Amino acid sequence: MSPLRQLFLLVLPHWRPMLLAVLLGFFTVASNIGLLTTSAYLITRAALHPPVLDLMVAIVGVRFFGIARAVFRYMERYFSHDVTFRILSSMRVWFYRKVEPLAPSRLMDYHSGDLLSRIVTDVETLKNFYLRVLSPPLVALLTLMVSCYFLAWFDVRMSFLLLLFFLMAGLVAPLLIGWWSRPWGKEIVQSKSNLNALLVDSIQGMADIEAFGQRSRQLKKVAKETAKLLKLQGSIAKINGLANSLTGLCMNLAMWSILVLAILKTEQGELAGIDIAMLALVALSSFEAVTPLPLILPFFQESLAAAQRLLAITGPAGPNWHNRQENTSPQGYDIQVSQLSFRYAADSPWVLRNVSFTVPQGKKVAIIGPSGSGKSTLVNLLLGFFDYQAGSLKLGGREIRDYQQEKLLEQLAVVTQRTHLFNTTIRENLLLARPDASREELVRAARKAKIHDFILSLPEGYETYIGEGGFKLSGGQRQRLAIARAILKNAPILILDEVATGIDPLAEQEIMQDLYQLMQEKTTLVITHNLMGLEQMDEVIVLVEGKVVERGNIF
């Protein structure tokens, strides 16, 4: 689906409040036109010294438009913000709905926080699509139609003059400026990103810069790039500065040409002199609707780019699961892998090649091997995150690909090297594993994971907020919470994927020892690059470059 079509589809359900906000926006502009034209009419009428009563309608009109303008402006701001938030909410839900079935296969490349925050920013950018892109031209169009209709009463040529300058200011000038500044724009983006890279290097690599005495060289580099950017920004300022002044120029030219036409018509007796002032002011005041138009293009491009990026992520559907069956359930809890081969894409190298092994029910098997040997891929296959191309991967006698993912994951408790803890209380984080767990069960799990005492030492115990903005946990504490979560889930099969990576060796040793206690009676698969504690396993499999090169007992 094209990003534009997708954008329209997303805002379409909100057409009613959007329409209301557009109408209110139009009324705001129209009230201003009304205020100025009735004022002009009032003064010109008064100059002819009529009885005061004759002016009452105009006086009431002036006052009415004066108040209406403010009220409409208020309502317009209120309702357009309301719609914007509604759209934002839809966008979030839409994106989440799209991306949820794809996780984690599609989000693998987005693991770093930076890329994910860009997704969040992209979604928030889209909320401007209505406010900055859709609404202004609609308001402008309505204003133009009504103003032209009004002018046509006097002379249709005036309508055409207004239309001409309206289009010049709202359409031709912004496009021209956009086209003209384009080559500079590209250079500026390039120069900015170079400068950013230099600045990031300066801050993050400061220790290295100082250690090698490169400070002044780095500062010179930054100064040079800044000077280049400064020059480019100077050139583009000339073009961009035109935008505002062109709008003003078109506005005044429209007024001037309509004025000349009106004088000519008065001279020919086709127009009453009383209308001249009014017509000039209609032309001037209707241009208020043009002011936001030059900004549409950049906002439009921004929204489109954001939508494109989001669609690229959610893009073509994930693994093909058409043979998933409703009621596949495991017969026992063993894992059988035979002649399993897998690659991420048809044109990429095989990650697993003819891998075969078995984890009998209640036994413990470790897979070791250097990084990049395919260990973690194996776990991803077991969790049903990717589909395998050849061989078989069975859990409880059934092919993994036959399971419904929820059903499959119910059988597995997983602790990975990067367990995510949510920005909420410790209790909520634990409850994720089993929402209906009682307080006692929670404490029992925490005790088993040897984290209970630590939790109690926190200011608010189990109610302590953790994560961003909350209490910062150490790597070991995080992993222990993750383990408590796995205990609470109490699934028959346990998968430990590099649990202790990145933890202080002393803490690592303790955690591993505690984990072996938990493995009793469970079917366990341990993924590690660490040779410690392997004597406790029933079998050890050595995986190198996707192949099983060795297997056996450590003794």
Q: Which range touches another protein (CB under 8 A), out of 182-190, 298-306, 319-327, 430-438?
A: 430-438
Reading the block at residue 59, the tokens are: 């006086």
Beta carbon of residue 418, minimum distance to another protein (angstroms, whole number): 9
Of 157-165, 234-242, 302-310, 441-449, the window that binds another protein (rule: CB under 8 A) is: 234-242
CB 296 within 8 A of CB 136: yes
Please give the residues from 32 up to 71 whose contact with another protein meets the rule CB under 8 A.
Answer: 32, 35-36, 38-40, 42-47, 49-50, 52, 55, 58-59, 62-63, 65-67, 69-71
Written as six digits, the tokens of 47 are 């100059």
Residue 89 interacts with another protein (CB under 8 A)? Answer: yes
Closest separation between CB of residue 201 and another protein, Å?
Answer: 5
> Is residue 312 near another protein by the rule CB under 8 A?
no
Gap between the Cα atoms of 370 and 529, Å rounded? 6
Q: What is the dihedral of CA 246, 252, 254, 259, to 10 degrees?
A: -160
Map residues 243-262 to x or -, x wherever contact with another protein holds by CB under 8 A: -xxx-xx--xx--x--xx--
Binding status of residue 441 toward another protein by CB under 8 A: no
Interface with another protein (CB under 8 A), residue from 4, 185, 233, 428: 233
Closest approach of another protein to the CB of residue 93, in Å: 5
Residues in region 116-175 near another protein by CB under 8 A:
116-117, 119-120, 123-124
Q: Is 422 in the site for another protein (CB under 8 A)?
A: yes
User: Residue 65 or residue 357: which is nearer to another protein going by CB?
Assistant: 65
Please report whether residue 329 would count as binding another protein according to CB under 8 A.
Answer: no
Cβ pair 135, 18 in contact under 8 A: yes
541, two tokens:
């499999």
- Select the residue interacting with another protein from 305, 531, 549, 554 (CB under 8 A): 531
CB of 212 to another protein, least distance (A): 6
Q: Which of 4, 92, 185, 324 binds another protein (CB under 8 A)?
A: 92
Answer for which of 138, 295, 409, 519 binds another protein (CB under 8 A) is 409
DSSP-based helix, strand, coil % in the chain, nearest 5: 65, 10, 25
Give the integer Cα–Cα distance in Å for 426 and 55: 73
The set of long-range contacts for 13-18, using a CB threshold of 8 Å and a minimum separation of 24, is 13/90, 14/83, 14/86, 14/87, 14/90, 14/130, 17/79, 17/82, 17/83, 17/86, 18/83, 18/130, 18/134, 18/135
Mapped onto helix, strand or coil, the DSSP state of residue 548 is strand
The answer to the question of residue 324 lying near another protein (CB under 8 A) is no
Please pick, from the candidates 316, 459, 469, 552, the single residue that binds another protein as defined by CB under 8 A. Answer: 469
Spatial strand order in the sheet of 390-395: 352-359, 335-342, 390-395, 398-399
3-state secondary structure of 126: helix
Number of residues that bind another protein (CB under 8 A): 146
Q: 461: left (phi > 0), else alpha (psi -120 to 50), else beta?
A: left
* Per-residue binder mask for another protein (CB under 8 A), 378-407, x = binder: -----x---------------------xx-
Per the DSSP assignment, residues forming a β-bridge with 7 are none
480 part of the interface to another protein, by CB under 8 A = no
